[in-house]
Every structure is written in structure tokens, then in C-alpha cells.
Amino acid sequence: METILKEGQKVNRIYLSAPDVSNLEREAVIKAIDSNWIAPIGPDLDAFEEEVASWTGMPYAVGLSSGTAALHLALVLLGVGPGDEVLVPTFTFVPTANAALYVGARPFFVDSEYSSWCMSPDLVRVALEDRARTGKLPKAAMVVDLYGQCANYSQLQPLFADYGIPIIEDAAEALGARRDDAPAGSFGTYAAVSFNGNKIVTSSSGGMLLCSDPESASRARKLSTQAREEAPHYEHKEVGYNYRLSNILAAFGRAQLATLEKRMARRSKIRIRYEEALAAFTGVSFAPVSIGSKPNWWMTCITVDPRIAGISVSQIQKSLESANIESRPTWKPMHLQPLFSGSQSYIDGTSEQIFRTGLCLPSGGGMSDDDVARVIDHLVSMFNMGA
């Protein structure tokens, strides 16, 4: 169905995951400016680190300029470098795999399990047995908590532990989620969270590296501020980066984090409304939620079987766009990306199937009930026509 807009008629654009910002953030930033903590570090950064650490159950957190920077530093801290391999889920956003390239390592890919859309423990076992036979085990494993749901750690952790392979948890999308009663961010040696503009908690841009020991945290602080040695002058022994989060952005992020419970509840309610509205249509499924899993509901994703629904996700995306509603295909798997052509991968078709049939629906907590109704009306009329 096309929504025909008459000339001069305007409907507001509904975004996929627009930042949900209130007066709290405005006041927090002004307070930070007035307190004169403009220079990168400051009390809001310290407090933001402590608050994120407590949400994620990790003892140490280092505020960084992005989640990508956190993934990069995690690999540096583990000593991953040229000639090493890193195991990465194929179904993810590209920064997970890029981090391996930043340190000169090679990523190789493992497919998803359907029940969480995250890394498949069965295929990890196949991959590690195969690697062990050839004597070349990965130096680290990145595990991604996809679309706000934690991966299957009760099965993944013992597998990696058997081979002594450390886990880096990419919890960029999953702050606030839980699995088997443990919080997202607590499952690896290191974890990364993101405060990019489209995430559930944003600092406009930013991220954090979570560490289980104080030495790693202080090394990460040093590496993220040009790796300056203790000396009265500027002394350098190793490569550093300019990756630190600023105090002003941390003030913004803190104000967002203070309402994380409410943000999750709002996004959950949006998903429930989609589920209720589309329940009657065969051929439409929602991203599954695993047993023991409590997602943060960051993104509502559906899959559509065009043979049953009578309409494909690309048709739906186009039609939503004509009504000024943003939607997106699910991540295109890394093993299909030209950037990683030739990389080894352990694939069973799950992520390719989700990519072909998957669509992310507007999920931003700032959407009004009317906005949600507008998206739903449009989807319902499309599925009615398809059926």
C-alpha cells in the first residue's frame, strides 16, 4: 500500500531507533559545562564508568569514544596481533570484525543459532575441533549480543574455556539485557558497550570497555590517552590512541542511563504492540527470545516468508519508506561482505536466511503511541493485501 501524500501535506519521519532525549540530558550537560569540566576527564566520566560497571556486573569500566574503540582495545589488551586469528560471528555489525583487522589479525566466521540469532554453540564446537586439528586456534573469540539479546553463554563459555580462548563480549546493543540472571557485559574477559546515537542509551557518541581486573582497566586508560608513560615530560614506549570519552558526553550518557529501566519497558511495549497487531498473519515471525533470556528490547525484528505472506521484506521496506517510515534489513552477514571475501567461515545458512527474510522495525523509545499505530496500520494493510 502506498500512502499518497497530497502536495503540501507532511507526515513526520519515523526513524528506526531515534535517540530519546529529555530535559534531563540538557540539564546534565549544562551542569557539566558550568562546572568547568570541559577537559576530557572529570567527575561525570568517573561516575558514568561506575554506573555502567554496576549495570553490567563488571568491576571496572573505561569510558571511550566509541564501542568500536572498546573492541579494538580489548584485542590489544589480549595481545592479539599480526598472524593471529579471531573468531567472530558472521551475523553482526561490521565493527566486531573490523576490530580484528585493526590489530592486523584475521577474522574467521561462525553462523548463528536460530533460537537467539547469536553465535551458534554447535558451530563453534565444529570450528574449534577443526582448528585444533590443524593446530591453529583463534587467539580470542568475539561473541555478540545481537539486537539486545545475550548470546547462549551457558553453552559458549565452557566450549571456549576448554580451549583456553578468552571471550570478548560485544554488548554494544545489549546494555540492560540479562541471561540466566547475569547481566550483558559480564560474560567475557572483556566486554564492549556502545553509546552511539541509535543505541538504547546514548551519549551522542561513545562507548565503554568493561574489564574484570584493575590492571587491564588502567592499561586501557593509558592506551586510550596516547600511552603516556609516568614522567614529567611526554615519554612513550608503545602505540597509544586518542580514544577517551569526554566528561561532557559522559554527563549526557549518565542522564540517559538513569532511565534505562524505563527505556527497556517502553521498547518492550512497542514490540508487544507489533506482536499483537501482526499475530493473525501467517508467514510473519518475530525474532525469537531464548529461554532464560531477558532482552533489553533494543530492536524489534521480524522475518517474513514471502511464499506465505505474499509479500517480501524488500517490498515492505519500500512501502514503509513511501510513508516516511524507516526500516532496515537485518545485518548482512560478514562472510558475504566483499571486505571479508576469502575469509574462512563455518556456515549453516541460518544468518543468510535471516538476512534474506529479516526486517528491523522502528523501535525507538521516543516514538509516540500514534507513531507506533501509524507503522502498525501500514504493516497491517500491506499484509492484508499480500494475503
Ligand X SMILES: *Cc1c(COP(=O)(O)O)cnc(C)c1O
Do 118 and 152 touch, CB atoms closer than 8 A?
Answer: yes
Amino acid at 354: I
- Point out the residue whose Cβ comes nearest to ligand X: 67
Taking the least distance from each CB to ligand X, the nearer of 168 and 302 is 168
Cβ-based nearer residue to ligand X, 251 or 309: 251
Q: Binding of ligand X at residue 170 (CB under 6 A)?
A: yes
Enumerate the β-bridge partners of residue 85. 106
Instruction: Please report how close the Cβ of residue 97 comes to ligand X at its closest, in angstroms.
Output: 9
Asked if residue 120 binds ligand X (CB under 6 A), the reply is no
* 369-386 helix and 313-322 helix, angle to the nearest 10 degrees: 130
DSSP state of 105: -
Q: Which of 218, 337, 339, 330 is nearest to 285 (CA)?
A: 330
Residue 65 near residue 209, CB atoms below 8 Å: no
118 or 278: whose CB is closer to ligand X? 118
Does residue 63 bind ligand X (CB under 6 A)? Answer: no
Output the smallest distance, CB 59 to ligand X, in A: 22
Under rule CB under 6 A, residue 363 binds ligand X: no
Distances (CA, A) of 176 to 49, 142, 267, 287, 311: 15, 19, 12, 18, 35
Complex with ligand X: residue 84 or 170, whichever CB lies closer: 170
Q: What are the helix (H) ranges across 207-357?
A: 214-223, 247-257, 260-278, 306-309, 313-322, 350-357
Measured from the CB atom, the residue of 32 and 299 that comes closer to ligand X is 299
Edge-to-edge order in the sheet of strand 284-286: 284-286, 300-304, 358-361, 328-329
| CB nearer ligand X, residue 160 or residue 298 | 298
List the interface residues with ligand X, window 125-144 (CB under 6 A): 144
* H or E stretch covering 294: strand 293-294
Note whether 173 binds ligand X by CB under 6 A: yes
Q: Indicate whether 183 belongs to the interface with ligand X (CB under 6 A).
A: no
Give every CB contact of residue 125 below 8 A, 6+ residues apart in sequence: 159
**Which listed residue (56, 68, 152, 330) binds ligand X by CB under 6 A?**
68
Q: Which is nearer to ligand X, 173 or 371 (CB)?
A: 173
Q: In the window 83-112, what residues touch ligand X (CB under 6 A)?
A: 92-93, 95-96
**Residue with Cβ nearer ligand X (194 or 345):** 194
Q: How far is the CB of 243 from ligand X (least distance, A)?
A: 11
By CB under 6 A, tell whether 169 contacts ligand X. no
Q: Which one of 121, 185, 207, 253 is in contact with ligand X (CB under 6 A)?
A: 207
Q: Which is nearer to ligand X, 97 or 123 (CB)?
A: 97
Instruction: Tell me which stretch binds ligand X (CB under 6 A): 30-38, 63-71, 235-243, 321-329.
Output: 63-71
172 binds ligand X (CB under 6 A): yes
Site for ligand X in 143-162 (CB under 6 A): 144
d(CA 83, CA 78): 14
117 near ligand X (CB under 6 A): no
Q: How far is the CB of 52 from ligand X (least distance, A)?
A: 13
CB 281 within 8 A of CB 383: yes
Of 105 and 311, which CB lies nearer to ligand X in the complex structure?
A: 105
Report helix angle 247-257 to 260-278, nearest 10.
50
Which strand ranges, in their side-by-side order, compose the sheet holding 345-346? 60-64, 207-211, 190-194, 167-170, 140-144, 85-89, 106-110, 345-346
Q: Is the separation of the CB atoms in 194 and 207 below 8 Å?
A: yes
Distance CA 27, CA 35 (A): 12
For the bound state, the minimum distance from the C-beta of residue 173 to ligand X, rounded and expressed in Å, comes to 4
**Among the listed residues 194, 293, 303, 327, the single contact to ligand X using CB under 6 A:** 194
Chain residues binding ligand X by CB under 6 A are 66-68, 92-93, 95-96, 144, 170, 172-173, 194, 196, 207
